[in-house]
């Protein structure tokens, strides 16, 4: 009789397309372009509103004014009619509380009219404001449990959209979420505030630099999403994956990604079908997906969009994770977006490509033909360098979480030390600025490929550095440290705020210098030189994984915040509070609330992991090992009995230590001390239990082992 695992593998591998998911479409036919068809876009709004109402609405939004009831009712009616044409019977204010995910409460368009029938209605008041229970979401103490009132407020800068379901459709209205007292309880409000702050600061700088036409500066993002896909049969037999998103047990498979044969490899048919279906849904939602490919680890993949405004990009990133997980189930797969679902295997991140653009379409981080002659670029690039140096601890804190502690600092992700990589050409430019010399950029060159049939490739000004957490990549900075399961909203809120602060600092110095210098260049170059001297310690072009860099970073005075409890206090450091209150992004109370929520989520997440590990070890792994031991004793094989008995005893002792650690907590010291206790007591106890359990996996009879193994989950597609 075949073992249970082998039968599972055969079943898991039996996937065939039924031909109903996508079908074949003539993409040249009229109406075949489905991009944005489920989005209540500005184009749709213009088509459905009378011209006078539409013009008045645009003026209202441009001036940041409150909508009067007439305008709100007109928009609501148009939105309701459009949604019902798409099959929507309900609407929801779609918001992003401090859980890191999204939230929704569905309300019907229909209401009884008294004669046994129902009428579809949706007013401007219902569009603009909703009222979910604020006490049921983490608030960090802003709202007590008995204080239930909270408000959602329509965000007109992010279009409403339709989510489809086999049994109907839902109108989703992106909204902010605030307390009854007006404090931000979500990730959208501070992001919008930070975008406004950076725009104001950048506009002042642009005027000093001679630009009097730009009226608005937008920050843009293009977040790359990494994820794993495994067969759902294996997922539902793993309590650790169900409860925590990662495997708490699992021995290293005979083959991992040592052969480097997965990255950019041919995409398996079922996975490609799932990807295509996902991209189809995202296209309907207006999410501009550009790239898909196999990632480094087996069963790991990536999807990446084109740049968008930070607010819309953050909304779309949340949708991308949701759609990935929903669509995977149609193909008998489960999408894992945990940072480290498999120990010893490459983890998943979310590279946050960040830049600044004007309302005229100019990218402020796009160098000119010769970067050192492009004063505007050098100004804004210098501001970013200053911001990363001054707020390196805070930037590190934005990516701190339970999942990230398994990934950051390993040879698959940037180190916990924040540094900036500029590339060879920009390194030479800033070196020249520091020395007060004028140098010529190297003329455009080409990379010869040694064959007449291959075209010459334009040679970039600098190589890429995958070990750098904050790397300049041509016309943007790529923040490589965010985790795959994270919302990007707080990351970009922080980047916008600290860069705005740095821009204002440089603008003040430039304004002062312009009083005594005749030209912008003569005034700016000394400012940039002084700025570089103050902030150059954060520039690094070498191997961020090396021990030499860690030693060098310590000499430079850079922070190395290795774990989440080390990093999170930076969220409420004096420099953080000063910057965020000055720019009216988050007040002290709102910052402290986010700190409390982040620490509590770390403690809670580790508690769930610890209790799950103890339960699995005691009720699944230990019984399997003792059954195997009983069979060995019955077979009278003393050497194997002794080996197994020793490991069973070791596992039993480790489980006891883990259960004791799970039950304990510091008697005083507050929530941060509790987090440190979990890090210093629970994590080592989990690791010790796993270590002996994984050794048992290597000797217990395969048909007795209760969990799908790495070699099944990672390689059967």
Identify whether residues 381 and 324 lie together within a single domain.
no
Encode pLDDT of 319-329 as tens digits: 999 999 999 99
Q: What CA–CA distance (Å, rounded) separates 391 from 388? A: 5
Q: What is the DSSP letter of 180?
A: T
Phi and psi, residue 93, nearest 5°: -85, 105
Q: C-alpha angle with apex 435: 381 to 462, nearest 5 degrees?
A: 45
Q: How confident is the model at residue 413 (pLDDT cuts 50, 70, 90)?
A: confident
The Cα 376–Cα 520 span in angstroms is: 10
Angle at 30 between CA 293 and CA 20, to 5 degrees: 50
> Residue 343 pLDDT > 90, yes or no?
yes
Cα 287 from Cα 630, distance rounded (Å): 57
d(CA 375, CA 373): 6
Name the phi and psi angles at 123, rounded to 5. -95, 170
Average pLDDT of the chain, as a whole number: 89
pLDDT computed for residue 456 by the predictor = 59
- Give the pLDDT score at 451: 47
| Inter-residue contact 138 to 186 (CB < 8 Å) | no
Q: What is the pLDDT of residue 522?
A: 87
Question: The CATH number of the domain where 323 resides is what?
Answer: 3.30.590.10
Q: What tens digit of pLDDT does each residue of 511-531 get?
A: 999 988 778 888 998 999 999
Q: Is the pLDDT of residue 25 over 90?
A: no
In order of 153, 385, 458, 492, 519, the CA distances from 526 in angstroms are 46, 16, 33, 30, 12
What is residue 454's predicted lDDT score, i.e. its pLDDT?
A: 46
pTM: 0.93
Looking at residue 284, its pLDDT comes to 95
Give yes or no: residues 339 and 374 share one domain: no
Residue 1 covered by a domain: no
Q: Which residue has the higher pLDDT, 13 or 475?
A: 475
Tokens 């010869």, located at residue: 448
Q: Is the pLDDT of residue 117 over 70?
A: no
Q: Are residues 387 and 525 in the same domain?
A: yes
Q: What does the pLDDT read at residue 370?
A: 53
- Choose the final residue of a domain: 186, 214, 245: 186
CATH number of the domain that 645 lies in?
1.20.120.1560
pLDDT 10s digits, 705-715: 999 999 999 99
Tokens of 174: 């992106």
Shared domain for 324 and 365, answered yes or no, is: no
- Give 218's Cβ-side CA count (13 Å radius): 17
Which pLDDT tens digit goes with each residue over 619-665?
A: 999 999 999 999 999 999 999 999 999 999 999 999 999 999 999 98
The CB-side HSE value for 475 (13 A sphere, CA atoms) comes to: 13
Strand order in the sheet with 477-479: 308-309, 217-223, 352-358, 477-479, 470-472, 420-421
Grouping H, G, I as helix, E, B as strand and the rest as coil, residue 375 is helix
Q: What is the pLDDT of residue 174?
A: 95
Query: Can you read off the two tokens belonging to residue 248?
Result: 């708490």
Please answer whether residues 217 and 202 qualify as being in contact, where contact means their C-beta atoms are separated by less than 8 angstroms. yes
218 and 124 within one domain: no
Distances (CA, A) of 585 to 195, 282, 385, 559, 594: 9, 30, 21, 25, 13
Please determine, for residue 458, whether its predicted confidence score (pLDDT) is greater than 80: no
Q: Answer whether residue 679 is part of any domain.
A: yes
Residue 317 lies in a domain: yes
Last residue of a domain, which of 348, 374, 399? 348
Same domain as 526, residue 407: yes
The verdict on residue 391 lying in a domain is yes
Residues 635 and 580 in one domain: no
- Percent of the chain past pLDDT 90, that is, above it, reads 67
User: Looking up tokens 């450091």, which residue turns up?
Assistant: 573
Query: What is the Cα–Cα distance from 355 to 630, expressed in whole angstroms?
Result: 63
Contacts of residue 259, defined as CB under 8 A and 6 or more positions apart, other chains included, come to none
Give the Cβ contact number of residue 409 at 10 Å. Answer: 19
Strands 420-421, 225-231: pairing kind: unpaired
Q: What is the pLDDT of residue 444?
A: 52
The structure tokens 């996975």 sit at 271
- Segment 223-242 shows an average pLDDT of 96
CA dihedral 452, 460, 482, 542 (to 10 degrees): 100
Please check the confidence at residue 162 and state whether its pLDDT lies above 50: yes
C-alpha distances out from residue 263 to 259, 292, 463, 510, Å: 10, 11, 20, 47
pLDDT for 410 beyond 60: yes
Task: Report if residue 24 sits inside a domain.
Answer: no
* Residue 365 sits in the same domain as residue 340: no
Element (H, E) at 172: strand 168-179
For residue 605, pLDDT over 70 is answered with yes
Would residue 193 count as lying in a domain?
A: no
Q: Does 168 share its domain with 207?
A: no
In this predicted model, which residue has the larger pLDDT, 440 or 648?
Answer: 648
| Domain ranges, residue 416 | 200-223+349-442+456-586
Q: Based on the fold, state whether residues 577 and 624 are members of the same structural domain.
A: no
Q: Which among 300, 160, 156 is positioned nearest to 224, based on CA atoms?
A: 300
d(CA 668, CA 658): 21
Residue 371 pLDDT: 55
| 453 pLDDT tier (thresholds 50, 70, 90) | low
Residues 548 and 669 in one domain: no
Residues 92-128 as b/e (b if ≥16 CB within 10 A, e otherwise) read: bbbbbbbebebbbeeeebeeeeeeeeeeeebebebbb
Q: Is the domain of 361 the same as that of 424?
A: yes
How many CB atoms lie under 10 A from the CB of residue 651? 23
DSSP 349: B
Integer Cα distance of 168 and 163 in angstroms: 9
SS3 33: coil
Domain of 79, CATH number, reads: 3.10.20.70
Q: Count of CB atoms within 10 A of residue 8's CB? A: 18
- Looking at residues 396-410, what average pLDDT do you find? 89
The DSSP result for 384-425, as a single string, is HHHHHHHTHHHHHHTT-STTGGGTTTSTTS--SB--EE--HH
Cross-sheet strand order for the sheet of 225-231: 289-294, 300-305, 225-231, 333-336
DSSP SS3 for 174: strand
- Number of structural domains the chain divides into: 4
In sequence order, the 6+-apart residues with CB closer than 8 A to the CB of 663 are none
pLDDT at 421 over 90: yes
Boundary-marking domain end, from 289, 319, 348: 348
Q: Nearest-CA neighbor of 332 among 120, 17, 643, 575?
A: 17
Gyration radius from the chain CA atoms: 28
* Residue 27 resides in a domain: no
Contact 583, 131 (CB under 8 A): no
Q: Are 610 and 685 in contact (CB under 8 A)?
A: yes
Q: Which tokens hold the place of 475?
A: 């016309």
Tokens at 593, concatenated: 């609330």
pLDDT digits (tens, 9 = 90+) for 254-285: 887 777 788 888 999 999 999 999 999 999 99
pLDDT at residue number 630:
96
Tens digits of residue pLDDT in 539-593:
999 989 889 999 999 999 999 999 999 999 999 999 999 999 999 999 999 999 9
**Structural tokens at position 162:** 């339709």
Least confident of 53-57, 418-422, 634-638, 684-688: 53-57
Q: Is the pLDDT of residue 613 over 80?
A: yes
Mean pLDDT of 589-618: 97
Phi, psi of 467 (to 5 degrees): -90, -5
pLDDT of residue 136: 81
Query: What are the respective helix, strand and coil percentages of the chain, to the nearest 5?
Result: 50, 15, 40
Hunting for tokens 């006078």 — which residue is that? Answer: 52
Of 239-253, 325-339, 443-457, least confident by mean pLDDT is 443-457
Residue 196 has pLDDT above 90, yes or no: yes
**3-class secondary structure per residue, 83-132:** HHHCCEEEEEEEECECCCCCECCEEECEEECCCCCEEECCCHHHHHEECC
DSSP per-residue letters across 643-712:
HHHHHHHHHHHHHHHHHHHHH---SSSHHHHHHHHIIIIIHHHHHHHHHHHHHHHTTS-TTT--S--HHH
Question: What is the mean predicted confidence (pLDDT) over 359-372?
Answer: 78
Q: Is position 40 within any domain?
A: yes
Least trusted range by pLDDT, from 46-50, 118-122, 522-526: 118-122
């Amino acid at each position: 009789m075949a073992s249970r695992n082998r039968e599972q593998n055969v079943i898991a591998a039996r996937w065939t397309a039924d031909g109903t998911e996508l079908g074949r479409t003539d993409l040249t036919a009229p109406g075949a372009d489905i991009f944005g068809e489920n989005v209540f876009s500005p184009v749709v709004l213009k088509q459905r509103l009378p011209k006078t109402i539409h013009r008045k609405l645009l003026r209202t939004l441009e001036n940041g004014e409150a909508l009067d009831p007439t305008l709100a009712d007109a928009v609501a009616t148009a939105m309701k009619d459009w949604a019902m044409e798409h099959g929507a019977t309900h609407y929801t204010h779609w918001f992003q509380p401090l859980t890191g995910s999204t939230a929704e409460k569905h309300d019907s368009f229909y209401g009884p009219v008294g004669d046994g029938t129902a009428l579809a209605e949706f007013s401007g008041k219902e569009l603009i404001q909703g009222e979910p229970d604020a006490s049921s979401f983490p608030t960090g103490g802003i709202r007590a449990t008995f204080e239930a009132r909270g408000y959602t407020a329509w965000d007109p800068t992010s279009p409403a959209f339709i989510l489809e379901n086999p049994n109907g459709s839902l109108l989703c209205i992106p909204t902010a979420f605030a307390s009854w007292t007006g404090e931000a309880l979500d990730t959208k409000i501070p992001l919008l505030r930070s975008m406004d702050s950076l725009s104001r600061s950048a506009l002042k700088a642009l005027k000093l630099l001679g630009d009097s036409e730009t009226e608005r500066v937008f920050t843009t993002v293009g977040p790359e999403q990494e994820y794993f896909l495994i067969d759902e049969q294996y997922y539902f037999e793993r309590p650790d994956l169900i409860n925590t998103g990662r495997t708490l047990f699992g021995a290293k498979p005979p083959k991992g990604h040592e052969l480097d044969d997965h990255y950019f490899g041919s995409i398996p048919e079922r996975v490609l079908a799932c990807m295509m279906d996902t991209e189809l849904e995202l296209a309907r939602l207006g999410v501009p997906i550009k790239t898909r490919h196999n990632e480094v680890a087996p069963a790991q993949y990536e999807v990446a969009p084109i740049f968008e405004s930070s607010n819309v990009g953050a909304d779309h990133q949340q949708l991308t994770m949701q759609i990935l997980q929903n669509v995977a189930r149609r193909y008998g797969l489960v999408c894992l977006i945990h940072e480290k679902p498999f120990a010893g295997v490459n983890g998943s991140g979310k590279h946050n490509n960040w830049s600044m653009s004007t309302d005229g379409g100019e990218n402020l981080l796009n160098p000119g033909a010769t970067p050192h002659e492009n004063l505007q670029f050098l100004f804004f690039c210098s501001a970013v360098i200053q911001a990363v140096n001054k707020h390196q601890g805070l930037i590190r804190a934005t990516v701190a979480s339970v999942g990230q502690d398994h990934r950051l600092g390993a040879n698959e992700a940037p180190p916990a030390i924040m540094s900036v990589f500029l590339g060879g050409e920009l390194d030479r430019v800033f070196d020249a600025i520091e020395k007060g010399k004028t140098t010529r950029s190297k003329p455009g060159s080409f990379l010869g490929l040694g064959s007449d049939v291959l075209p010459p490739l334009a040679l970039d000004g600098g190589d890429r550095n995958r070990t750098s957490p904050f790397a300049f990549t041509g016309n943007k900075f790529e923040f490589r440290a965010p985790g795959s399961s994270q919302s990007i909203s707080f990351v970009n809120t922080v980047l916008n705020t600290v860069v705005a602060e740095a821009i204002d600092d440089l603008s003040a110095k430039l304004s002062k210098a312009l009083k005594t210098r005749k030209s912008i260049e003569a005034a700016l170059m000394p400012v940039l030189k002084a700025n570089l001297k103050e902030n150059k310690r954060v520039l690094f072009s070498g191997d961020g994984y090396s021990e030499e860099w860690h030693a060098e970073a310590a000499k430079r005075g850079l922070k190395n915040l290795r774990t989440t409890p080390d990093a999170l206090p930076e969220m409420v450091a004096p420099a953080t509070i000063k910057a965020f209150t000055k720019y009216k992004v988050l007040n002290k109370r709102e910052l402290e609330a986010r700190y409390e929520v982040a620490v509590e989520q770390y403690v809670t997440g580790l508690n769930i992991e610890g209790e799950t590990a103890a339960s699995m070890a005691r009720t699944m792994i230990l019984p399997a090992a003792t059954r195997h031991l009983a069979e060995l004793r019955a077979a009278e094989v003393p050497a194997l009995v002794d080996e197994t008995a020793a490991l069973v005893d070791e596992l039993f002792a480790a489980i006891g230590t883990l259960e004791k650690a799970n039950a304990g907590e510091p008697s005083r010291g507050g929530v941060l001390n509790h987090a440190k206790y979990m890090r210093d007591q629970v994590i080592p106890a989990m690791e010790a239990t796993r270590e002996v359990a994984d050794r048992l996996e290597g000797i217990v009879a395969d048909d007795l082992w209760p969990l799908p193994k790495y070699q099944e989950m990672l390689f059967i597609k």
